[in-house]
Structure 1
Amino acid sequence: MEWAYCPGEERSSPQQAVVLEQQQSYETEWDMINAVSFPKRKPCSNGEGGKWSFTFSVWDLRSITVKEEGWSRLVFGMKEPPTSLPSLHFHQGGSEVFFLSQFGCLIILTLFPQQKLKKDPYVTTLGGFSKVTNYIFDAFQECMVLLVGVLFCLSQMDLGARPEVTRREPLSAEDWAKHQDQEGRVKNVPQLKKIIFKGGLCHAVRKEAWKFLLGYYTWDSTYDERKGQQRRKTDEYFRMKLQWKSVSEEQERRNSRLRDCRSLIEKDVNRTDRTNRFYEGIDNPGLVLLHDVLMTYCMYDFDLGYVQGMSDLLSPILYVMDNEVDAFWCFVSFMDQMHQNFEEPMQGMKTQLIQLSTLLRLLDLAFWNYLESQDSGYLYFCFRWLLIRFKRELSYPDVLRLWEVIWTGLPCQNFHLLVCCAILDSEKRKIMEENYGFNEILKHINDLSMKLDIEEILQKSEAICMQIRSCKDLPHSISEILGFNTESEFPRLEGREFGTLDSPQSPIPTQRQEVFSNGHNRHYREPPTHNGCKVSFIS
């Protein structure tokens, strides 16, 4: 078997180069989008000597490892010498198709009548395998297991009807006070988070509640403990602020990194939310605070410093806190969640785009295929959504509402990806009916800014989560993205008031036993896993 990149498989095209120019034309300051491009590969012939090609005999395979890292990665292990070949990465899916095309096609054509396969793929597949001789069975045993599993999933994959969900009024100041005891400890935190997720917070509560949601305060802290923490954090903040304040002009001339950070911060601060009353006008004290907090963060995190977009994340927090120290530490907590978005390799952004593509492919394969056909399968038009959590897409009150809902951690991991899916789900009909091409899709998505209804989006996002969770035989990659197989402090959310709302914690589904037959006996075996990877041993 030999694998190589072919010219027809190139993902890059002249049109993909246009996306960078187009996005810069709409938002010129988002130059960093240039960093999120998958490396171009030079095509080579399907023969020896190609840089990206390798050849091996199927009979020499010892194992095939499938690793899930937001995308699938196949690793082939050889019997002699016991080495591994270069990994095959499938960022846009298709690992199963590749695997079956190499190992299963010849078997399928000879064993399975087409009509019977369509009518009952599961039974027909098992019946066909029963005709395979022991010799072939021994060689392709694990390939048969995978083929049965894939065909079974394809025949059973039905997301079902999307449930209807409702939202409630924001949590009032009176209700917030009821969730605290006499010493200030917050009671019944899971229930409180459910309420916040379903309705958000009234603005009067945000200044205090956001500190808990972001982890600045612990839920079980008392009033006195929080006062003590406030004093310590204030001292620590001003010590860091003094570090950059005390740098002389002569020192700064020898510190290019500090100069670059200061220059970029001053540039971004002067154009961040200037229509908001908190930041409007010349010599506004809000702008000074925004500048000082960002400069102090450069002292807090020397490695990251300042990157474009961080001012957009700080602005709403500073607006709500109306306090330099509180805003800084809440921003630190938020950046702990968002840090990978701004790291130089942009691996966090690449992973999220791949995960979003995986979810969209599950929810609507026809729409996903349409985007692929228009060279939009990488979903670069969602880059800004993910980078700064929809800050430029929503009105200011809607940004506050969305962020506090996401910070509850409900109803699953990466809920913001489902928010993206909900928006695209609302726009897919127009995109497809109007037959939008690459440029039209990009322009249409950019034109959605300030036209989105946050309550409608959150309602649909929650419904999508419930729809996916209820799906039988959910692909492992989807469960990993949404955290359905991970333990969490949050219980399952149920009840009339909330409908059916799931948190990340749920009973881990029992792994379906793999079935294969050698013509005489049927064997049942759990596929071995190592460090979260599925390993199929050929012999």
Structure 2
Amino acid sequence: MSSFVIELDLLRTLPNNKHYESLNSDGIPKLRRVLLAYSRHNPCVGYCQGMNRLAAWAMLFLPEEEAFWCLVGIMDYIMPPDYFGKTMMAAQADQRVVKDLIAEKLPRINAHFEKNELDISLFTFNWFLTLFVDNVPPETTLRIWDSFLLEGNKVLFRFCLAFLKFKEEDILKQRDMISLNNYLRTLGEKIFDVGRLSQIAFTELNPFPMKFVKQRRAFHLPQVQLELEELDALRGEIREKKDQTDLMEFSSDDDL
């Protein structure tokens, strides 16, 4: 199953980059091998959408084997357990942490989002899963990756909030949900001043203790797990009812 999904995602990875723009591009077979290798290295995760961008970005700067070990380092050591894979439980919990941090650090933006009933995870979830590779200027992505590889996953929260703080006034000018959605969909593409972005992330947003992030993760993770278990139970009930209905219809046909 992983190999089939990987094939579907190869040309969706970095379609505007010459190394990945077509099946004949030099990066495509390398990307395929790295993703298949990781799916075998960690069968509990296998392949998850988002991993393709991480591997492809790493291979822009590293040989194929080193890119594989870079992917292993990110997936298995830097990011929390259960971040990628079937449920993305930790990734879902982190989006709730993002909302907590926005409420604390960016109260004007938070009030604006609440007023317009905007779910910010529609935009930030992809930032976290792809480590800001998708729809972000390369210079900005490079600075984020430098900080991420040095300091760990807390950096993702810093830069997520820094993106919003950087464009706070423009965000507040969007007067309804539609305009907010349209603006935030391309927000990453608008962040070119890496120096200013880093100043916001590492100076203006301080204090930014990892202790707070860990506490909020510990609070949200059990809630996400419980909700997923309830969803699985509901799906099981629906399947059971469907099976019973199908059996009754089959029995009725036999009576005819």
Interval of TM-score (by shorter of Structure 1 and Structure 2): 0.7 to 0.9
Distance 1:433 1:352 in 2: 27
**Structure 2 Cα separation of the partners of residues 350 and 402 of structure 1:** 21
Q: TM-score, normalised by structure 2?
A: 0.74
User: Any idea what SS the aligned residue of 2:135 has?
Assistant: coil
Contact 1:290–1:311, Cα closer than 8 Å, also in 2: yes
Match of 2:186 among 447, 453, 463: 447
Q: What is the DSSP-based 3-state SS (H/G/I as helix, E as strand, rest coil) of the residue aligned with 1:283?
A: coil
Name which of 265, 273, 283 aligns with 2:24: 283
Which amino acid in structure 2 is aligned with residue 364 of structure 1? L
Kindly report which structure 2 residues correspond to 1:260-271, keeping only aligned pairs within 5 A, or say none. Answer: 260-271=1-12
Distance in 1, matches of 2:117 and 2:139, equals: 34
Matched, 1:426 2:157: no
Cα distance, 1:295 vs. partner? 0.9
Deviations along 1:463-482, whole A, 9 cap, x unmatched?
1343x25xxxxxxxx66235
Q: Are 1:354 and 1:378, in contact at CA under 8 Å, matched by a contact in 2?
A: no
Q: Supply the distance in 2 between the matched residues of 1:368 and 1:315 (Cα, whole angstroms).
A: 34
Map of 1:395 onto structure 2: 137
Please say if residues 423 and 457 of structure 1, whose CA atoms lie closer than 8 Å, have aligned partners that are also in contact: yes
Verify the 8 A CA contact 2:109 2:171 in the aligned structure 1. no
Q: Distance in 2 between matches of 1:380 and 1:329?
A: 30
Give the structure with the larger helix fraction: 2
Deviations 1:85-126 (A, max 9, x none): xxxxxxxxxxxxxxxxxxxxxxxxxxxxxxxxxxxxxxxxxx
For the residues of structure 2 that align with 1:324 and 1:448, how far apart are their CA atoms? 31
2:124 corresponding residue in structure 1: 382
SS in 2 for 1:320: coil
**Structure 2 counterpart of 1:406, which letter?**
F
CA shift, 1:388, in A, is 1.0
Query: Do the aligned partners of 1:316 and 1:400 also contact (CA within 8 Å) in 2?
Result: no
2:118 partner letter: S
- CA distance 1:378–1:395, change in 2 (3 Å): closer
Cα deviation for residue 348 of structure 1 reads 1.4
How many residue pairs match? The answer is: 212
CA deviation after TM superposition for structure 1 residue 377, in Å: 5.0
Q: CA deviation at 1:289?
A: 0.7
Q: CA RMSD in A?
A: 2.3
- Equivalent position of 1:456 in the other structure: 196
Give the alignment partner of residue 67 of structure 2, picking from 304, 312, 327.
327
SS in 2 for 1:393: coil
- The one-letter amino acid of 1:329's match is W
**3-state SS of the aligned residue for 2:13?**
coil
Q: Distance in 2 between matches of 1:379 and 1:298?
A: 27
Q: Judge conservation of contact 1:340–1:346 (CA < 8 Å) in 2.
A: yes
Are 2:49 and 1:308 equivalent residues in the alignment? yes
CA distance in 1, matches of 2:84, 2:172: 33
Distance 2:112 2:190 in 1: 24
**Per-residue deviation at 1:434?**
3.4
In the TM superposition, residue 461 of structure 1 has moved relative to its aligned partner by: 0.4
Q: Which residues of 2 match residues 346-385 of structure 1 at below 5 A?
A: 346-376=88-118, 379-385=121-127
Q: How does 1:46-445 map to 2 (within 5 A)?
A: 260-321=1-62, 323-336=63-76, 337-338=78-79, 340-376=82-118, 379-409=121-151, 414-435=154-175, 437-445=176-184
Asked whether 1:481 is paired with 2:212, we answer yes
1:109-165 CA distances to partner (integer Å, 9 max, x unpaired)?
xxxxxxxxxxxxxxxxxxxxxxxxxxxxxxxxxxxxxxxxxxxxxxxxxxxxxxxxx
Distance of 2:26 and 2:210 partners within structure 1: 46
After the TM superposition, which parts of structure 1 deviate over 6 Å for at least 4 consecutive aligned residues?
A: none
Q: What amino acid sits opposite 1:420 in the alignment?
A: C
- The equivalent residue for 1:504 is none
Partners of 2:132 and 2:141 within 8 A in 1: yes
Question: For the Cα contact (< 8 Å) 1:353–1:380, is it kept in 2?
Answer: no
Closer/same/farther in 2, CA of residues 278 and 370 from structure 1, 3 Å limit: same
Q: Which segments of 5 or more consecutive residues in structure 2 lack a partner in the other structure? A: 216-256
Once the 2 structures are TM-superposed, how far is the Cα of residue 292 of structure 1 from its aligned partner?
0.9
Counterpart of 1:384 in structure 2: which amino acid? N
Aligned AA (2:183): H
SS of 2:190's partner is coil
| CA deviations over 1:326-371 (Å, ceiling 9, x no partner) | 2211111111233533232222122211111111111232321221
Give the letter aligned to residue 318 of structure 1: M
Give me the whole-angstrom Cα distance separating, in 1, the residues matched to 2:49 and 2:121: 21
Output the TM-score relative to the length of structure 1: 0.37
Seen in structure 2, the aligned counterparts of structure 1 residues 354 and 452 have a Cα distance that, compared at 3 Å, is: same
Q: What secondary structure sits across from 1:279 in the alignment?
A: coil
Distance apart, 1:325 and its partner CA: 1.7
Alignment check: 8 A CA contact 2:105 2:205 kept: no
CA separation in 1, counterparts of 2:119 and 2:26? 44
Bigger Rg over Cα? 1
Report the Cα offset of residue 460 of structure 1.
1.0
Cα 1:263–1:274, aligned 2, differ >3 Å: closer, same or farther?
A: same
The CA distance in 2 between the partners of 1:371 and 1:297, in whole Å, is: 38
Query: What is the CA distance between 1:384 and its match in structure 2?
Result: 1.0
Q: Judging by fraction of residues, say which structure has more strand.
A: 1
For the 8 Å contact 2:147–2:155, the answer to whether it is kept is no
In 2, Cα distance between equivalents of 1:295 and 1:407: 23
**In structure 2, C-alpha distance between the alignment counterparts of 1:335 and 1:399, rounded to whole Å:** 18
Structure 1 spans left out of the alignment, 5+ residues: 1-259, 470-477, 485-539
